[in-house]
Chains A and B, each alone.
Chain A
Amino acid sequence: MKRLMIGNEAISRGAYEAGASVAAAYPGTPSTEIVSNFARYKDVYAEWAPNEKVALEVGIGASLGGARTLVAMKHVGVNVAADPLYTVAYTGVNGGLVIVSADDPGMHSSQNEQDNRGYGIFAKLPVIEPSDSQEAKDFTALAFDISEEFDTPVMLRVTTRLSHSQTLVEEGEAGERVLKEYKKNAPKYVMLPGYARGRHVEVEKRMVKLAEYAETTPLNRIEWGDRSLGIITSGVAYQYVREALPNVSVLKLGLVNPLPKNLIASFAQQVERLVVVEELEPVIERQLKAWGIAVEGKELFTLLGEYSPEMIAQRLAGAEPAPSHGLEIPPRPPLLCPGCPHRGVFYTLRRMRVTVTGDIGCYTLGALSPLEAMDSCVCMGASIGMALGMEKARGQEFASRLVAVIGDSTFVHSGITPLIDIVYNQGTSTIIILDNDTTAMTGHQDHPATGVTIKKQPTKKLDLENLVRAIGIEHVRVVDPLKLDEFEAVVREELDRREPSVIIAKRTCALIDRTPITTTLYVDDEVCNGCRACIRIGCTGIYYKDNEKKAAINPTTCVSCGMCVQVCKFDAIKVVEG
């Protein structure tokens, strides 16, 4: 029986049916549900690793140890894992190793929209691209076979639209979990120069074999139609092409690296006009042009964002864009949730007018209106190193008005090494770890400092306070960021200090906090003078009644965190029990 699955669940099912027994990941939209789904199978090992590099290293070890292994990450996570990635291409595998890169064209939830098919070319890995959930399952299973047959890690490249769209999948039988024999083989697995040179020879031989395989693999197929237009496409773009141009001829590529030269040349010869439709970078187009095949691509289609059927119909079938009604509507940007502890942090930092190097998480929303209390956000962990760099460029005086903010999960991911740098190179920065007991933005995954595993088993809990003390931070403060006066006083004290300090702003994410709400808030209209100070905290729990010029609590969204109560200078917001 067929059932609906998001692409990510289908990938995990495909791995399970192929007999994978180990999976590792760090959560990251749009990849998170791949390994969280895999963890639900009883007879497998799955983990949240502290970051993608560790996840891949665990994956390489498991593969070497003989298990079929799945490692998943978002596109920018592959940057973190790039070091082992390039070299595992040399060592090859024992048990099949499939690495999923979930790219995010359109940047629904990312800081860039890099096209990770480029990694496949650079690292010399086969890259497989499915176009719906059924293919996501089937191609993942096939990727394990390819990995073992060609002794190579395989990259499965998906995009947000595939990862998070539900399409029908026919489930197969659970595969048998086979553990291959482990044999010591230093020339293959010890990548020192003398051995690595030998492995590079193997990598190049492998690419030749894979190019031959590309010509005949069922991953690539031609759907003949009208031959006046031939489209070469892959991934979700294939679905858009089929929707927009049902009658054209299509060469659908499931293996996008290496490309099947003869198959493409033969297809090109049999159509009058050849167009490549691929989101983001002209990866396929460039290779065709290098081979001297006449093709159109990016002169018709943008390098930016997601494609759509209507875009393709407009470029290639002369369709008119749908008319716009021209309604002017206020935008609805995402906001910190009611009761969110981050609101207290950014409200305070905004009040203090300090420079804030930021990081990746829900709290990046602190950069947006109305709090607007963040100066930078580059990548996971960047806040701390950047704070040190700013201090070294502009001096200690500047550093006394500078804080770095980083979430608990992000700190564990890649905030520890830059904190060591601050201690080692005598920075004086103040670092605020926003410890909300979870990896919130990706949907509340556990991490080492929550003390719970991906399978919801209790484990040794990483103690952040002891960790930063061990690094050499002598001034460590733990404070609830929604106690505004106390929090601000602590930030002021630590900024004044000419030594590095860490403030752990500790309060559980409002979406997972199970503490019962025992109070209700209301605005006393007699007292409220309509100054809007409470509105400027940007909480959907409180709004402004235009007609009456008064603030009012929204009882359906308010969680009685009491932040607006503290912000009101006139004590107009009252707290009642019950």
Chain B
Amino acid sequence: MSQTMNVLIAGVGGQGTLLTSRIIAQVAVDLGYDVKVTEVHGMAQRGGSVVSEVRYGEKVYSPTIPKGQADVLLAFEKLEAARWLDHLKPDGIVIINDERVDPLPVMSGKMKYPEDIIDRIVQLKPKTTVVNATKTAIECGNVKAANVVLVGILSKVIGLPPEKVEEAIRKLVPPKALEVNLAAFRRGVEWSVNQ
């Protein structure tokens, strides 16, 4: 791989985007790549819009992904997919978890949640796949494993070897949650994605 791989993981504070970026980054380290990850801490984490940027390749300079150069956008929530869409390159891949979390202006009735947001994203980015990771996670035994379902889908899209990802999951997930998370990961890998 001569080019840097740029993965943008967007979500809402508290949704568990951090573990996902950590697993992907660990696999890239194990494969011998140069890796950089950047994230938002502090006040923005309190239910706000959060993003993790993971970059790996032969040599990575900037920790942030230049706008318009993300290869893959993985969104834990529909609105957050739309928010970060400009950061994706023209033929970039979008994976959206079919989850809706109303932001304050919607909760308070000042603004409408754009019901057609998925259609608009698909129009702009044909390589979009919508998944229901939450449902799959529940089937695997724990709703909290939704982020690892998404790791499965993402890792297949960016071509990370599944055995390496499982190795990283074993390193980063507590033993008692391991079986559920491995099952969630394997279900994720089975998803077929538009690319």
User: Chain A: residues with CB nearer than 8 A to chain B?
Assistant: 2-4, 29-30, 108-109, 132, 161, 164-168, 236, 239-240, 242-244, 308-310, 313, 321-325, 327-337, 362, 364-365, 369-370, 441-443, 532, 535-536, 538, 540, 543-544, 546, 556
Residue ID in chain A nearest B111 by CB atoms: A330
Q: Verify A166–B36 contact, CB threshold 8 A.
A: yes
B residues less than 8 Å from A370 (CB atoms):
104, 108
Q: Verify A243–B48 contact, CB threshold 8 A.
A: no
Interface residue B67 (Cβ < 8 Å from any Cβ of A):
yes
A residues less than 8 Å from B142 (CB atoms):
none
B residues less than 8 Å from A369 (CB atoms):
104-105, 108
Q: Verify A540–B107 contact, CB threshold 8 A.
A: yes
Minimum CB–CB distance for B165 against chain A, Å: 16
Q: Verify A335–B104 contact, CB threshold 8 A.
A: yes
Interface residue B44 (Cβ < 8 Å from any Cβ of A):
yes
Q: Verify B120–A109 contact, CB threshold 8 A.
A: no
B residues less than 8 Å from A243 (CB atoms):
61-62, 66
B residues less than 8 Å from A244 (CB atoms):
62, 66
Residue from B35, B41, B69, B108 in contact with A30 in the complex, judged by beta carbons closer than 8 Å = B41
With A332-B48, A369-B104 already in contact, the answer to whether A4 and B62 are too (CB < 8 A) is no
Q: Verify B63–A167 contact, CB threshold 8 A.
A: yes
A-B contact pairs, 24 of them (CB 8 A): A108-B42, A109-B41, A132-B36, A161-B38, A161-B64, A165-B38, A166-B35, A168-B29, A308-B66, A322-B87, A327-B82, A330-B113, A332-B79, A332-B83, A334-B13, A364-B43, A369-B104, A370-B104, A370-B108, A442-B42, A540-B107, A544-B109, A546-B112, A556-B143
Interface residue B160 (Cβ < 8 Å from any Cβ of A):
no
With A4-B26, A109-B42 already in contact, the answer to whether A167 and B35 are too (CB < 8 A) is yes
> Roughly how many angstroms separate A307 CA and B188 CA in the complex, as a whole number?
36
Minimum CB–CB distance for B80 against chain A, Å: 8
Residue from B29, B67, B79, B105 in contact with A308 in the complex, judged by beta carbons closer than 8 Å = B67
Q: Verify A310–B35 contact, CB threshold 8 A.
A: no
Residue from A165, A168, A443, A540 in contact with B101 in the complex, judged by beta carbons closer than 8 Å = A540
Interface residue B37 (Cβ < 8 Å from any Cβ of A):
yes
Residue ID in chain B nearest A163 by CB atoms: B41
With A4-B35, A240-B62, A544-B109 already in contact, the answer to whether A337 and B43 are too (CB < 8 A) is no
With A242-B61, A308-B62, A322-B86 already in contact, the answer to whether A334 and B48 are too (CB < 8 A) is yes
Residue from B29, B38, B79, B108 in contact with A538 in the complex, judged by beta carbons closer than 8 Å = B108
Minimum CB–CB distance for A339 against chain B, Å: 12
> Roughly how many angstroms separate A540 CA and B43 CA in the complex, as a whole number?
16
Residue from A4, A330, A556 in contact with B103 in the complex, judged by beta carbons closer than 8 Å = A330
| 5 closest Cβ pairs, A-B complex | A322-B68, A109-B42, A334-B48, A29-B42, A332-B103
Q: Verify B44–A538 contact, CB threshold 8 A.
A: no
Interface residue B194 (Cβ < 8 Å from any Cβ of A):
no
Interface residue B195 (Cβ < 8 Å from any Cβ of A):
no
With A335-B46, A544-B107, A556-B143 already in contact, the answer to whether A164 and B41 are too (CB < 8 A) is yes
Q: Mark B82-116, 1 if CB is under 8 A from A, else 0.
A: 11011100000000000001111111110111100
A residues less than 8 Å from B41 (CB atoms):
29-30, 108-109, 164, 443
Give the one of B25, B67, B69 with max A CB within 10 A: B67
Q: Verify A30–B67 contact, CB threshold 8 A.
A: no
Q: Verify B36–A165 contact, CB threshold 8 A.
A: yes
Q: Verify A310–B48 contact, CB threshold 8 A.
A: no
> Roughly how many angstroms separate A538 CA and B47 CA in the complex, as a whole number?
11
Residue ID in chain A nearest B59 by CB atoms: A242
Residue count of chain B within 8 Å CB distance of chain A: 54
Q: Verify A540–B47 contact, CB threshold 8 A.
A: yes
> Roughly how many angstroms separate A328 CA and B79 CA in the complex, as a whole number?
10
A332-B80, A334-B13, A441-B43 known, 17 other contacts, Cβ within 8 Å? A2-B29, A108-B40, A108-B41, A109-B43, A164-B39, A164-B40, A239-B62, A322-B86, A322-B87, A330-B79, A332-B48, A337-B46, A441-B42, A443-B41, A540-B47, A543-B107, A546-B112
Interface residue B34 (Cβ < 8 Å from any Cβ of A):
yes
Q: Mark B49-87, 1 if CB is under 8 A from A, else 0.
A: 100000000001111101111000000000110110111
Minimum CB–CB distance for B169 against chain A, Å: 16
Minimum CB–CB distance for A146 against chain B, Å: 26
> Roughly how many angstroms separate A4 CA and B54 CA in the complex, as a whole number?
12
B residues less than 8 Å from A329 (CB atoms):
79, 82-83, 114, 117
> Roughly how many angstroms separate A309 CA and B68 CA in the complex, as a whole number?
11
Q: Verify A532–B109 contact, CB threshold 8 A.
A: yes
Residue ID in chain B nearest A167 by CB atoms: B36
With A243-B61, A334-B43, A441-B43 already in contact, the answer to whether A164 and B38 are too (CB < 8 A) is yes
B residues less than 8 Å from A168 (CB atoms):
29, 34-35
> Roughly how many angstroms separate A446 CA and B168 CA in the complex, as a whole number?
32
> Roughly how many angstroms separate A240 CA and B36 CA in the complex, as a whole number?
13
Q: Verify B36–A309 contact, CB threshold 8 A.
A: no
Minimum CB–CB distance for A171 against chain B, Å: 14
Minimum CB–CB distance for B30 against chain A, Å: 10
Give the one of B62, B82, B105 with max A CB within 10 A: B62
Residue from A161, A239, A362 in contact with B46 in the complex, judged by beta carbons closer than 8 Å = A362
> Roughly how many angstroms separate A362 CA and B42 CA in the complex, as a whole number?
9
B residues less than 8 Å from A236 (CB atoms):
63
> Roughly how many angstroms separate A347 CA and B82 CA in the complex, as a whole number?
32
Give the one of A322, A362, A535 with max B CB within 10 A: A322
> Roughly how many angstroms separate A329 CA and B112 CA in the complex, as a whole number?
9
A residues less than 8 Å from B42 (CB atoms):
29-30, 108-109, 441-442
A residues less than 8 Å from B29 (CB atoms):
2-4, 168
Q: Verify B120–A327 contact, CB threshold 8 A.
A: yes
Minimum CB–CB distance for A574 against chain B, Å: 21
Minimum CB–CB distance for B6 against chain A, Å: 11
Interface residue B124 (Cβ < 8 Å from any Cβ of A):
yes
Q: Verify A337–B47 contact, CB threshold 8 A.
A: yes
Interface residue B12 (Cβ < 8 Å from any Cβ of A):
yes
Minimum CB–CB distance for A332 against chain B, Å: 4
Minimum CB–CB distance for B64 against chain A, Å: 6
Q: Verify A334–B47 contact, CB threshold 8 A.
A: yes
Residue ID in chain A nearest B54 by CB atoms: A166
Give the one of B87, B104, B106 with max A CB within 10 A: B104
> Roughly how many angstroms separate A332 CA and B15 CA in the complex, as a whole number?
14
Minimum CB–CB distance for A554 against chain B, Å: 9
> Roughly how many angstroms separate A572 CA and B82 CA in the complex, as a whole number?
35
